[in-house]
Each structure stands twice: as structure tokens, then as C-alpha cells.
């Protein structure tokens, strides 16, 4: 069924199916009910909730029980539904429901970043075939409007780089480690007590959540299809207080960053790099001021220059705000005709090999404290075509777990900051350092972003 044929069934109002009534879905329903008159004026017709699909129909949801159903497919199939709002999560079940809705000529609003990152091409194709809308502003950075600006406001510019803090849980943990001196395990437990971390925090702390968002941002920024599997990913579970202290000495802080970059090689060919990892950010950079559970996305464009979007990156009400913004836009198109710009991957740039990506690095290591050690370490870096910018040395007292590894005072802690180098060269250098008689242990390697070359 086409959009035109479907719209004829309900031109005086917009029928909405809501899939899921968890934290975000509950807020969406509440705000629709509380501000119904306002939404009517913004859209040009009333929004009517046709039904709400949930897994457990026995719970009191605080809404008309006749709206509650556990048959999501039947709700999607109703002829009086114009827009389907999906806030269930998961991938395969949601994918089937949304594909069904799109193929029936119904617009879709989703907050499901994992689904969009994995199946955006399939969903976009279905939306194009039926000439309906696919909106997913809430899939990245909660209430922060970033998808719309990338699709519309920045459509006349050439984006070079997108760098963002797009996961509130990890930003809370790293901010707390910096502020309190507590270790990773302590701050993770505190994040759980405060409701910032899930019972199983793996998706957040291992970077999977941020990788899905990086894939979405890269696809839109560089007009090239990028999936979560294309994103290099490291989490924050290995970050220690020694890393935090090393960052401070360099006037930096540590943030889990999603970095999406257009790479131009010497021959002029272009590729896309999308990566997620903990990185040192200078205290003078705007992203360094983003603390707690807040998110921010920093854009660098050819004409516009540098732009930053900042705000709450998660939570029921902030995410519901983004969902409702999409719902208003989709509903306007149902009432007045037209549709939003869809995905455009005309550039079709290849994904860069991670080994070819270049940045700066902080390499922390324990070394033998004797004459000639520094020159031997420097020689290893030089052998791998890596230029050293600065070196800082401290006495070694103990490991992160408090065990004394240097009772006789024979070791030193060395922090080496490099100039820009490739990931491949850096990895080979770290391996060689590990085999050097002068190096006891390479304790950590951190990238450095937002800095001059």
C-alpha cells in the first residue's frame, strides 16, 4: 500500500502504534496525553494512540487497558495506524515489525541504535519503496539533535570529522574516576546504584553502544554505508587511576570517544574511519568539559568549521523528547504530504584499514632504571618510524592493585608521548617494547585526540 492510498483512510487524525512501554515508551505516552492539544496545533491534526504493544499485559501501565496488547504485529497491521513508534530494543524482532510497517506504507520512528546500525540499508530501502518516513533521532545521543542537522542543516557542507561522547554510562564512570580517585570497579558500582549503569553493563563499558552510534554518524556524515561491524572498538574496563594521573600530567582528561573521520590519502583517494576507544582529550578542548552522564558531538566541516552539540544523552524524558520530535515530523508529513530526506550513501567510500589510521599516542611502561634505557626505548620507537614528542619518568612504587613491584628501586615508570603515527606502526612498536630487555612491562597505550599534530 502506498503512502497516498494509506493516508486517504485517516486524513483528519494521525493514528500511532507504540511498540514498547519501558522507561522511554512510558514518557512518550505521558507527554502525548498531557500535551495532546499542543501536538494537534503543531501537526495540523490530533495524534491518536491506537494501541501499545508490551510483553506483559498484566501490569498496570496507568493507561486505558484497552490500548494494551501483547500482539505487536496485529497492532502494526491495523489499517488506522499511520506511524509506528518503536522503543522496544533488540534487533531481529524489531526489524521484522518495522519492515512490515514500512512495507504497508506506514512511517516509522525508532530509538533503536543497534537495529539502525545493523540494518539501516534494508530499512531505508523499504521506506523509499513505500515513500514513507524512517526517523531515528533518538538512536544517537538522547535528546541532542544530531541526526536532523546531519541530514538537513549540514547537507550543503563537507564534513571532515565527527568526534563525540555518545555514551552516558562510560562518561559518568570516567568523570567519577577523575574527580574522586576511585578505581574502575568502584565507580561502576556507583553508576549502577545511581541508575546510570545496567545490571549487565557490557554494551556500555565495552563500547558496543558507542560503536552502533559511530556507525550511524559515519553513514550520515560521509554518505557511505557503515555498520557496527566496521567500527574498531575498545572499552574502558582497563582504564586505571595511573592512566588518569598520566592524563592529568599532560593537561588532559580521558573520555570514551566515537571518532568518525574522512581520510584522504596522498593520491587523493578517500576512505572512512570509524572507531571507539578511550582517549586523552586536552582540557582546553570543548569535549573535556562534558562530564557526568552528559553527551556531546563535535563536528568539523569544511565551511562551517567547528560545531558542538551538547545535552543529556539518555534517560526517559530526554530520549522521549527526541522520539516525539520525530513523531511530530512524521505526522506532519502524513497530514500535509511529503517526506523527510532519507539515507543518501552516494559517496560509497570504503572503510579504511584500522592499521592505516593515524593519531598520537601515550605509551606508559615500566622500565629498568639504568643508564642507556631511555636511548634503547627511543631506538625501538625510531625503528618503527614513530617520532617521540615528550618523555616523562617517575619512580615505580606499586601496581594498580597495590602490590609493590619494585622493592629494590630498580625500575622506573616511563610515559612516552608520540607525534602522529599509524596504528600498524604503533602496534608493532608495542610488541617490540614488550620484547626489550630494558622494558619490564607496557602498562597501557592510550590514543590522543583533539590535539595538534
CATH code at position 272: 3.30.360.10
Alpha carbons 70 and 74: distance in angstroms, whole number: 9
- Kind plus residue range of the DSSP H or E element containing 368: strand 358-368
pLDDT band at 194 (very low <50, low <70, confident <90, very high): confident
- Say yes or no: 234 and 286 in one domain: yes
Alpha carbons 279 and 450: distance in angstroms, whole number: 9
Mean pLDDT on 13-42:
95
- Say yes or no: 298 and 157 in one domain: yes
Let me know if residue 217 belongs to a domain: yes
pTM score: 0.91
Let me know if residue 343 belongs to a domain: no
Q: Which domain holds residue 377?
A: 355-448
- Say yes or no: 248 and 363 in one domain: no
- Say yes or no: 184 and 283 in one domain: yes
- Say yes or no: 114 and 161 in one domain: no
Let me know if residue 348 belongs to a domain: no
Instruction: Indicate the SS3 state at residue 82.
Output: coil
Binding-site residue numbers for NADPH are 113
Let me know if residue 341 belongs to a domain: no
Binding-site residue numbers for NADP(+) are 19-26
pLDDT of residue 418: 97
- Say yes or no: 294 and 170 in one domain: yes
- Say yes or no: 426 and 367 in one domain: yes
- Say yes or no: 328 and 359 in one domain: no
- Say yes or no: 118 and 165 in one domain: no
Which string of b and e fits 408-445 if b means at least 16 CB within 10 Å?
eeebbbbbbbbeebbbebbebbbeebeebebbbebbbb
Binding-site residue numbers are 19-26, 113, 198
Let me know if residue 118 belongs to a domain: yes
pLDDT band at 9 (very low <50, low <70, confident <90, very high): very low
pLDDT of residue 90: 92
pLDDT of residue 239: 96
- Say yes or no: 164 and 226 in one domain: yes
Domain count of the fold of the chain: 3
Cβ-contact 7, 45 below 8 angstroms: no
Q: Which residues form the catalytic set?
A: 213
Let me know if residue 350 belongs to a domain: no
Alpha carbons 177 and 319: distance in angstroms, whole number: 26
Binding-site residue numbers for L-homoserine are 198
Cβ-contact 212, 228 below 8 angstroms: yes
CATH code at position 435: 3.30.70.260
How is the beta sheet containing 107-110 ordered, strand by strand?
68-69, 47-53, 14-19, 83-86, 107-110, 134-135
Amino acid at each position: 500500500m502506498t503512502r497516498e492510498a494509506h493516508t486517504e483512510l485517516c486524513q483528519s487524525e494521525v493514528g500511532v502504534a507504540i511498540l514498547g512501554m519501558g522507561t522511554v515508551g512510558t514518557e512518550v505516552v505521558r507527554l502525548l496525553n498531557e500535551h495532546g492539544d499542543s501536538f494537534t496545533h503543531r501537526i495540523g491534526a490530533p495524534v491518536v494512540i491506537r494501541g501499545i504493544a508490551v510483553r506483559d499485559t498484566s501490569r498496570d501501565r496507568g493507561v486505558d487497558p484497552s490500548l494494551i496488547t501483547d500482539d505487536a504485529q496485529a497492532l502494526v497491521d491495523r489499517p488506522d495506524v499511520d506511524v509506528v513508534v518503536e522503543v522496544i530494543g533488540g534487533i531481529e524482532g524489531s526489524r521484522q515489525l518495522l519492515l512490515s510497517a514500512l512495507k504497508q506504507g506506514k512511517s516509522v520512528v525508532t530509538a533503536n541504535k543497534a537495529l539502525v546500525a545493523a540494518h539501516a540499508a534494508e530499512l531505508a530501502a523499504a521506506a523509499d519503496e513505500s515513500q514513507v518516513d524512517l526517523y531515528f533521532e533518538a538512536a544517537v545521543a538522547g535528546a541532542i539533535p544530531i541526526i536532523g542537522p546531519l541530514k538537513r542543516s549540514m547537507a550543503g557542507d563537507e564534513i571532515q570529522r565527527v568526534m563525540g561522547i555518545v555514551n552516558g554510562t562510560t562518561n559518568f564512570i570516567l568523570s567519577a574516576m577523575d574527580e574522586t580517585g576511585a578505581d574502575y570497579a568502584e565507580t561502576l558500582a556507583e553508576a549502577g546504584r545511581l541508575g546510570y549503569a545496567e545490571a549487565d553493563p557490557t554494551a556500555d563499558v565495552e563500547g558496543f553502544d558507542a560503536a552502533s552510534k559511530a556507525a550511524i554518524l559515519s553513514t550520515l556524515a560521509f554518505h557511505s554505508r557503515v555498520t557496527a561491524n566496521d567500527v574498531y572498538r575498545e572499552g574502558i574496563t582497563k582504564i586505571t587511576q595511573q592512566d588518569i594521573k598520566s592524563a592529568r600530567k599532560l593537561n588532559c582528561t580521558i573520555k570514551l570517544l566515537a571518532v568518525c573521520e574522512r581520510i584522504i590519502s596522498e593520491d587523493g583517494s578517500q576512505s572512512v574511519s570509524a572507531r571507539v576507544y578511550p582517549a586523552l582529550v586536552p582540557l582546553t578542548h570543548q569535549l573535556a568539559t562534558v562530564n557526568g552522564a552528559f553527551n556531546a558531538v563535535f563536528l568539523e566541516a569544511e565551511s562551517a568549521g567547528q560545531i558542538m552539540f551538547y545535552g543529556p544523552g539518555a534517560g526517559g524524558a530526554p530520549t522521549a523528547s527526541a522520539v516525539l520530535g520525530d513523531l511530530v515530523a512524521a505526522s506532519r508529513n502524513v497530514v500535509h504530504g511529503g517526506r523527510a530526506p532519507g539515507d543518501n550513501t552516494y559517496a560509497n567510500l570504503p572503510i579504511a584499514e584500522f592499521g592505516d589510521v593515524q593519531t598520537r599516542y601515550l605509551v606508559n611502561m615500566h622500565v629498568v632504571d639504568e643508564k642507556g634505557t631511555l636511548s634503547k626505548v627511543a631506538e625501538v620507537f625510531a625503528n618503527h618510524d614513530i617520532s617521540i614528542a615528550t618523555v616523562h619518568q617517575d619512580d615505580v612504587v606499586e601496581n594498580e592493585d597495590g602490590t609493590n613491584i619494585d622493592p629494590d628501586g630498580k625500575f622506573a615508570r616511563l610515559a612516552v608521548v608520540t607525534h602522529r603515527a599509524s596504528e600498524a606502526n604503533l602496534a608493532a612498536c608495542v610488541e617490540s617494547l614488550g620484547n626489550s630487555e630494558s622494558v619490564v612491562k607496557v602498562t597501557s597505550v592510550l590514543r590522543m585526540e583533539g590535539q595538534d599534530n
